[in-house]
Each structure stands twice: as C-alpha cells, then as structure tokens.
Amino acid sequence: MGKRFVAIWLRYLQTDWLVRRHHHLKGVPLVVKAQDHGRMVIIAANALAREQGIDSGMVLADARAVVPNLASVDDEPGLIERLLTNLANWCIYFTPTVAIDPTGGLMMDVSGCAHLWGGEEAYLKEIRARFTQLGYDVQVAMADTIGTAWAFSRYGKGDTIIDKAAQATAIQYLPAASLRLENEVVEKLQKLGLYQVKDFIHMPRTALRRRFGTNILQRLDQTLGNIDEPIVAVNPPAEYAERLPCIDLISTATGIRIALEKLLNRLCNQLQKQQKGLREVIFKCYRTDYQVQEKRVETIRPGNNPSHLFKLFEEMISSIAPGPGIELFILEAVKVESVVVANTNMWAGSCTLQSQALSELIDRLATRVGSSSVKIYKPSEEYLPERSFKPAALQDDEPAENWRCNRPRPMLLLHQPEPVDVMAPVPDYPPMLFQYRKKRHKIVKADGPERIEQQWWLQRGEHRDYYYVEDEEGCRYWLFRSGHYALDKKHQWFLHGFFV
C-alpha cells in the first residue's frame, strides 16, 4: 500500500483561537501585535482584517489609520507551538501519526486510514467539519508526498485530493514558493521570470544546482516522491496498540468496561503470539469535547493475561468522566518485554518469587495502595532478626536460603529494638512484667529463652536471649535480654516485635 499524506493549514490559527476564548471578538477585524525595534508590529490578522487591507508586517499605528475599529491583542510567546501540539494530539482520532508544521499547520500520515470513513473525499470532509466545529478556518489537501500535500494546502483552491502518482502533473501550475523554498531563492527565480514550477521543473539539474543551490533539487525530489521525507510525529505510535472508534457515543461505565475488555483481548492476543508481555499500558478515552481521559497501569512482571489486566483497570473505570460522550478508545502498550515461561512443578505446593499468581496479587495490591507501599523481601544469611532479610524483586532468582520456620517470629518486627524496663528473676528466668511507652504489661505466659549469637566474623555486640511473652490482655510480644545479666547495665532488655 502506497503512502498517503494530509496537510492541514490553519491560516488564521492565533486569531481563531482568540475568538474561541473571547466571543466579543467575533465579527470584528482582529490582529495580534508584538514589539519590534520599538514599534508595535502586526504578526497575525484574521480574515476580516485582511479583507480591509491589513496584513502581517504592518505597523499597528498605520493599520489603525486604515481601520479605526481594529481590535488588537498582544502576542503570547510559544502559543502557536502549544496550540499545534494540542491539535496534533486531538488529531489522533484520524490517524496515529501527526506532525507539527511550524508555519501554522499539521501534517498527517494517513496511509490506510481513509477507507474507515468511506473513502478519501469523505475523510477530508470529516476533517474539515471537525476543525470548523472547533472554530478554525482550515484548508486541507491529500497527496502521495508531504511536499505536494503541503503545497496544495496553501496554494490550492479549496480542499484538494491529488491522485496517486500524479505529483509531477499537479504541481506544475503552482508558484515556486509552494516547494517550501527560501525567500531568497524564490526572489531569484522570479527575477528570471520563473514564477511557476513548470517554468523550471524540466531544466537541467546541474543548472538549477549552480544557480539556486542544492535545496531546490531536494525539495523537488521530495515533492515528486523521488526521495523519502521523514515525518516526526508529536506522539510516535506505539508498536503495540489497539484502537476502537465508536459509532455511538459512549457515556456510561458499562460501555467503557465493554470497550476496555475488547481492547485488552485484542492487544493480549497480539502479544501472546509474539511471546511478549505488558509492563506498562495506557487506556485513553477521547471525548467529543476534545478532552482525553487517561488511565495507566504498571505490572511487576510482563504479562498478557487480559482478565488480570482488566482487574487492574476495573477500579479506575468509575473515575473516568465520559463528559458529553467518548468517540474513540485507544489501548497503548508503553513498555513491553519478552515473556519467560517458568518451569512448573506439578507437585509443589509452595509459592515462589517466580509464581505468576504471586505477581498478579502484587499487581492488584500495588494498584490499590500504590507501588511504593508494596515491599518484597527474601531471606538473608544473617543471624540477627533485623538483618535476616533484604529487599528483592520478582525478577530476582530464587534465594539460596529458605525462610526459617522452626521457631516463631513476630509479624511486625521493629527496625531497631526499643529499650524497655523489665522485672525478671535472674539469671535465666523469663520476665514477669515490663513497661513500654509508659504502659505496664503484666506477663501471664512466657516461653524461652532462644539464644541468637552475633556472627563470629563481625566480632561486635553481645548475644541475645529472646522470650515470647503474653500479657494479661492477650497481646504477645518478642523481648530479649542483651548479653548476660549485670547490675551495672541500665538497658539490658529490649522489645523487638509484636505477634499479631
């Protein structure tokens, strides 16, 4: 399938935008002004002002002498780029590939898109209707090359569709400036009487290069399709993405849910065939008021299970505001990785770091409470409880050491043991009561001691004698005495954890 491009020229971009924001400016001559060497100069004018002889480059004082009721607004730096960027993002309704033309237009790669609207003529008609509805005066052209589409969007008469491979014939009666040449080159051509493209298109290339430089040859080749011209999209289309245009506007959560399920099934089916999985995916909802609702989901491990991904999005559906109605849904895979199928043990009953069920559980928890709130740990070859584990990721290999399960451990372990006042018989009897944060706890049950020694290679700190104790309220704690009992030690006892 050959390439097809659409060029959109917003001839009154700034003034049309101002009229959209300030309705009192509608129907009056309007210009945009900027300071230039101490004078206020016009840089843009609307159609009414142009009809009365006002154009860009005129001094504002001279223009007001011609049109006394001329309205003027100060130029806003960077406005044109922001407007074009927003319009380019909105134009994804028509095609995934939209680029900005700094001279006040948009360029779209529409290869394979027009048939969705019933043909190229209906396609251009829909584009014009949408921009007119927004309040913008546009001229649109479609051709096989970017250069030809650009030329007819600015120098053609009305919306133009250039037949396939007809560039050479179509552009001949356009002015030389339609080739996007520098002003100096256009002036040189005109001085020699070469006003239209047909006047020099068949001249020897060596003569054109010698008198006008290499750029004129490059522009000719790009316009005729002899060399490719790249298009730099504002948002390059993702390698893996699915679109769902809607015949009827969607304004309910049920409709959004159905659309999301369809897109997930399509995208996951595509990824499964290539043994790929999603790590990050965006669900975009394009409304008729040109606003976009986005929801993003990230996963711990690449996956292509549509039911699991739907569960991650499910709680977000209620927060999507359909507004006047959604006309387009897009599901875009931002980050994709290869899926490694792990070996499974038929008889294993334990859950490992490589378990798909575990990764899906963590994804759902992270979606609810935030990924920063979910921590993963694996055992470390250390004796002291606060150093017996370390952070891990699901991508890590299985730990070389298993968790110790032969002795009870508290569900909540303090980062650092906190000193407590304890009354206990000596030397090795369990404590009878202890005081923690100004509250006394009478111990009714106790078990221990369990001695945990410091690693011999560290050679610092003393051994610990741990006791499992329960107070009269039924709460259980993990206490230990550091080292041997001694009268000269102020804080020998510490609280290290809570059994929940």
Say yes or no: 221 and 284 in one domain.
no
Look up residue 403 and give its two tokens.
Answer: 């968790």
Query: Structural domain of residue 427, as residue ranges?
Result: 415-499
Pick from 291, 307, 338: which residue ends a domain? 338
Position 209 in a domain: yes
Examine the domain organization and report whether 156 and 75 are in the same domain.
Answer: yes
Q: φ, ψ for residue 415 (rounded to 5)?
A: -65, -40
If asked whether residues 300 and 203 sit together in one domain, one would say: no
C-beta neighbour count of 256 within 10 angstroms:
23
Buried b (16+ CB within 10 A) or exposed e, 144-165: bbbbbbbbbbbbbeebbbbeee
Domain match, 210 and 268 both: no
In a domain, 140, yes or no: yes
- Residue 17 within any structural domain of the chain: yes
Based on the domain organization, do 174 and 316 belong to the same domain?
A: no
Q: How far is CA 467 from CA 74, 206, 407, 436, 462, in A?
A: 78, 96, 11, 16, 16
Boundary (domain end) residue, out of 285, 316, 338? 338
Report if residue 93 sits inside a domain. yes
Query: What amino acid occupies position 99?
Result: A
The answer to whether residue 373 is domain-embedded is: no
d(C-alpha 434, C-alpha 424), whole Å: 9
CATH number of 133's domain: 3.30.70.270
pLDDT of the residue at 373 = 67
Give residue for tokens 């650009």: 150
Q: Does residue 103 form part of some domain?
A: yes
Residue 311's nearest CA partner among 271, 241, 366, 255 is 366
pLDDT of residue 167: 87
Sheet holding 160-161, edge to edge: 97-101, 105-109, 5-10, 138-143, 160-161
- Same domain for 85 and 145? yes
**Interacting residues of 4 by C-beta distance below 8 A, sequence separation 6+:** 109, 110, 111, 113, 114, 120, 142, 143, 144
Q: Taking the alpha carbons of 260, 265, 270, 276 in that order, is the dihedral positive or negative?
A: positive
SS3 429: coil
Residues 172 and 296 in one domain: no
- Residues 133, 216, single domain; the answer is yes
CA geometry: angle at 224 spanning 223 and 227, to 5°? 85
What is the value of pTM for the model shown? 0.68
Q: What is the pLDDT of residue 347?
A: 44
**One domain, residues 195 and 280:** no
Q: What is the chain's percent helix, strand, coil content, to nearest 5?
A: 30, 30, 40
DSSP letter string over 41-104?
A: EEEEE-HHHHHTT--TT-BHHHHHHH-TT-EEEE--TTHHHHHHHHHHHHGGGT-SEEEEETTT
* Residue 60, in any domain of the structure: no
C-alpha 365: how far from chain center: 22
Tell me the pLDDT tens digit for each residue of 233-270. Answer: 988 888 889 999 888 899 999 999 999 999 999 999 99
Q: Is 38 exposed, middle or buried (0-12, 13-18, 19+ CB in 10 A)?
A: exposed
Which residue ranges in the chain fall short of pLDDT 50? 345-347
456's CB contacts (< 8 A; 6+ apart) are none
Measure the CA–CA gap between 294 and 89, rounded to whole angstroms. 13
Number of domains in the chain: 3
Q: Last residue of some domain: 322, 338, 354?
A: 338
Q: Do residues 99 and 219 both lie within one domain?
A: yes
50 in any annotated domain: no
CATH code of residue 262:
3.30.1490.100
Instruction: Give the containing element (helix H, strand E) for 187.
Output: helix 183-191
- pLDDT score, position 36: 87
Decide if 318 contacts 253 (C-beta within 8 A). yes
3 state DSSP class of 201:
coil
- Determine which helix (DSSP H) or strand (DSSP E) holds 247, and give its type and residue range: strand 241-250
**pLDDT of res. 4:** 94
CA nearest 472: which of 438, 426, 440? 440
Give the pLDDT of residue 399.
Answer: 60
- How far, CA to CA in Å, does 251 sit from each of 136, 248, 256, 323, 331? 27, 9, 8, 7, 18
* Nearest residue to 448 via CA among 429, 424, 425, 434: 429
Within 10 A of 6 (CB to CB), how many other CB atoms are there? 28
Same domain, yes or no: 179 and 217: yes
Q: Which of 9, 34, 19, 219 lies closest to 135, judged by CA?
A: 19
Q: Which residues pair with 476 in a beta bridge?
A: 470, 499
Nearest to 137 by CA among 16, 21, 290, 50: 16
Instruction: Give pLDDT tens digits for 148-207.
Output: 999 999 999 888 999 988 888 999 999 999 999 999 999 999 999 999 999 999 999 999
**Do residues 188 and 249 share a domain?**
no
